Structure 1
């Protein structure tokens, strides 16, 4: 290869890597807001004691890790219950949260929550 072509090849490779990095970072689920998601908000014990913490299980059986503890959502849980049916607007953070026994869940933040009447 001639010396003047080496610079061109390096430049082309650099541009290609830049575009690849941009496309990788632009396709994650971070920032996705899902409105009116029906499902179950459940407290499954402290992750420090091998529980899964606060989870949101959607109707299509997708589980999300939710920050916080049962006390953070006490207004929604009936006394002596660890799960409640809700409708929520959620935001995917693009991060994974590791819970008891090393299980990973996609992390969300709940933006709006509406508790539904417990059928019992």
Structure 2
């Protein structure tokens, strides 16, 4: 949930730069103090979750690029961006995890348990 203060600051000082596929809106300040960088920020569409910023916008937010990299064509080996699923039903659970039954395949024959 976005705060009223952030909305007012954005309305008074922000210039919309663009949006991403998740509906997040990216802004930069209309002006900057002398000798300072122009401030950049994002207003999330939904919960505030940093992993929901795609790489092309992440580079722009962190001043790695001067413009968002949205115009660059996606290559066939690049996957679509996915947010961090930790703590959700979609989280990865390796074999042997307690929530996956706690059993895993036996280790290879070259494994020896440590004895104190």
Shared fold by TM > 0.5? no
With normalisation by structure 2, the TM-score equals 0.26
Q: Which has the higher contact order (CA 8 A, sep 6+)?
A: 1
* Richer in strand (by share): 1
